[in-house]
Homo-oligomer: A and B are copies of this chain.
Amino acid sequence: MTWVESAAGSRYGVDNLPYGVYSTEDNAVPRVGVRIGDEILDLRRIVEMGTCADCPTCSALRAPVLNPFMALGRQVWSTVRAQVQGLLTNEDLAHQVRPLLTPVAAATMHMPFLVGDYVDFYSSEHHAVNLGRLFRPDSEPLFPNWKHLPVGYHGRGGTVVPSGTPVTRPKGQRKAPDGTVQFGPSARLDIEAEVGFVVGVPSRLGTPVSVDDFREHVFGVVLVNDWSARDIQAWEYVPLGPFLGKSFTTSISHWVTPLDALDDAEITAPEQDPEVLPYLSEKDRYGYDLRMSVKWNGTEVSRPPFADMYWTPAQQLAHMTVNGASVRTGDLYASGTVSGPQPHQRGSFIELTWGGKEPIALGDGETRTFLEDGDIIELNATAMGVNGELIALGEVTGTIYAAD
């Protein structure tokens, strides 16, 4: 039980403790903090108040991004988490630690880590089937490879931005129904509600990461909104995949939830048929029971269930490296759109509106198919924490700005 009053019932209790990078009006230096309730604990200040001259952990926690800390590995992550939990639960330390708390409302949040490579998977069977039915109504909805490997592709790491960054409607080419090639602002701007995994410990070029080593490499979880311009994507993506339809902006949460906070959110992942190849086979096959929510101008339009994902993050990491490709600290790989079996569990608007044919009712009699300028999207998620209370993942918000 923490002595931080704002943590009571907040879903950001001592069992959560996500990491972020923030600055304040009186101290413009971006620094690492941990969220507790409605406040942020300044880890850099904690380190500076200590007597440690320059151990790797204290050095890492002085950095303006999480990367150096994330590179140190699971043992350090667990130790620091336990130390922070100690500071925040020991009443005797409250008078010392309280001055190191800043209200979230008074902080400017920054990118929590420098993104290396960004990979986007496509691991929800419901999503893949829905898109197959929409785009290729006369064929099998899933391509033959889909159940043999977690299909994925590289996105643009340089345009991954923190929650709240304005999303400018992209311009681009599209093919009109009459066959002409047109240019202009995307008319089918969409979201993809996803969960992202952040690599802490790098791997060596030429050495695959086993499915069993997922927790040794992955530091934590962010929510991801992989904004997608469906008209640009549809015209460009053959044969090399999505490019400008995705690369304009990808938004992530300010907060990185450490895997340790999600121990009790682990659930057995769906059975796989056909059987997968040995490098993808898991003795203990688990996913995470994250309950996601998509709000469109304040109206909740979807509740995607991450528990239903066909491919697990451990399988995605093993697949991504089986050819010898290395991962680096700060690499981000996202799950792909999270869609459940029910219509109200779909994680993109192209699915929710069935290709734009079934508008969604928002508040005040408004309806939508794709995003309009000024629209605000908010992704959230909760999970069961280790003490039986719900914890929140960091939210991802974005407002659509008109193309210039």
User: In this assembly, does A331 line the interface, its C-beta being within 8 Å of a C-beta of chain B?
Assistant: yes
From A54-62, A148-156, A215-223, A345-353, the one touching the partner chain is: A148-156
Kindly list chain B residues whose C-beta atoms are within 8 Å of the C-beta of A81: none
Tell me if A's interface is mostly helix, strand, loop or mixed.
Answer: loop
From A19-27, A289-297, A305-313, A320-328, the one touching the partner chain is: A320-328
Select the residue from A161, A175, A239 with max chain B CB neighbours within 10 A: A239
A241 CB, nearest partner CB in chain B, Å: 2
Q: A158: which of B175, B206, B242, B328 is its contact (CB, 8 Å)?
A: B328
Name the residue on B nearest A238 (C-beta).
Answer: B143
Decide: B159 and A325 in contact? CB cutoff 8 A: yes
User: In this assembly, does A85 line the interface, its C-beta being within 8 Å of a C-beta of chain B?
Assistant: no
C-alpha gap A161/B205 in the complex (Å): 10
Name the residue on B nearest A229 (C-beta).
Answer: B323
The 8 closest A-B pairs by CB, nearest first: A241-B241, A170-B323, A154-B154, A153-B240, A244-B323, A240-B241, A248-B323, A168-B206
User: In this assembly, does A181 line the interface, its C-beta being within 8 Å of a C-beta of chain B?
Assistant: yes
User: In this assembly, does A117 line the interface, its C-beta being within 8 Å of a C-beta of chain B?
Assistant: yes
Kindly list chain B residues whose C-beta atoms are within 8 Å of the C-beta of A170: 323-324
Kindly list chain B residues whose C-beta atoms are within 8 Å of the C-beta of A323: 170-172, 229, 232, 244-245, 247-248
Kindly list chain B residues whose C-beta atoms are within 8 Å of the C-beta of A157: 116-117, 157
Select the residue from A207, A229, A249 with max chain B CB neighbours within 10 A: A249
Given known A-B contacts A158-B117, A170-B323, A171-B324, A151 and B240 have beta carbons under 8 A apart: yes
Size of interface on A: residues with Cβ below 8 Å to B:
61
C-alpha gap A229/B277 in the complex (Å): 19
Kindly list chain B residues whose C-beta atoms are within 8 Å of the C-beta of A181: 148, 277
Q: How many copies of this protein are present in the complex? A: 2
Enumerate 15 A-B pairs (CB-CB under 8 Å) in ascending A order. A116-B158, A148-B173, A158-B327, A159-B205, A159-B326, A168-B206, A171-B208, A206-B404, A207-B404, A229-B323, A239-B241, A244-B322, A247-B320, A247-B323, A248-B323
A231 CB, nearest partner CB in chain B, Å: 12
Select the residue from A168, A232, A248 with max chain B CB neighbours within 10 A: A248
A122 CB, nearest partner CB in chain B, Å: 6
Q: A122: which of B173, B240, B245, B326 is its contact (CB, 8 Å)?
A: B240
Kindly list chain B residues whose C-beta atoms are within 8 Å of the C-beta of A158: 116-117, 325-328, 331
User: In this assembly, does A236 line the interface, its C-beta being within 8 Å of a C-beta of chain B?
Assistant: yes
C-alpha gap A166/B205 in the complex (Å): 10
Kindly list chain B residues whose C-beta atoms are within 8 Å of the C-beta of A239: 143, 151, 237, 241
Decide: A154 and B320 in contact? CB cutoff 8 A: no
Residues of A within 8 A of B (CB): 116-117, 122, 143-145, 148-149, 151-159, 161, 166, 168, 170-173, 175, 181, 183, 205-208, 229, 232, 235-245, 247-249, 277-279, 319-320, 322-328, 331, 404
Kindly list chain B residues whose C-beta atoms are within 8 Å of the C-beta of A326: 158-159
Select the residue from A145, A249, A328, A404 with max chain B CB neighbours within 10 A: A145
Given known A-B contacts A237-B241, A323-B247, A173 and B277 have beta carbons under 8 A apart: yes
Given known A-B contacts A117-B156, A173-B148, A324 and B243 have beta carbons under 8 A apart: no
A86 CB, nearest partner CB in chain B, Å: 36
Decide: A236 and B205 in contact? CB cutoff 8 A: no
A323 CB, nearest partner CB in chain B, Å: 4
Decide: B240 and A183 in contact? CB cutoff 8 A: no
Kindly list chain B residues whose C-beta atoms are within 8 Å of the C-beta of A278: 183
Name the residue on B nearest A234 (C-beta).
Answer: B145
Given known A-B contacts A181-B148, A241-B241, A244-B322, A156 and B154 have beta carbons under 8 A apart: yes
Given known A-B contacts A122-B240, A242-B240, A319-B244, A324 and B168 have beta carbons under 8 A apart: yes
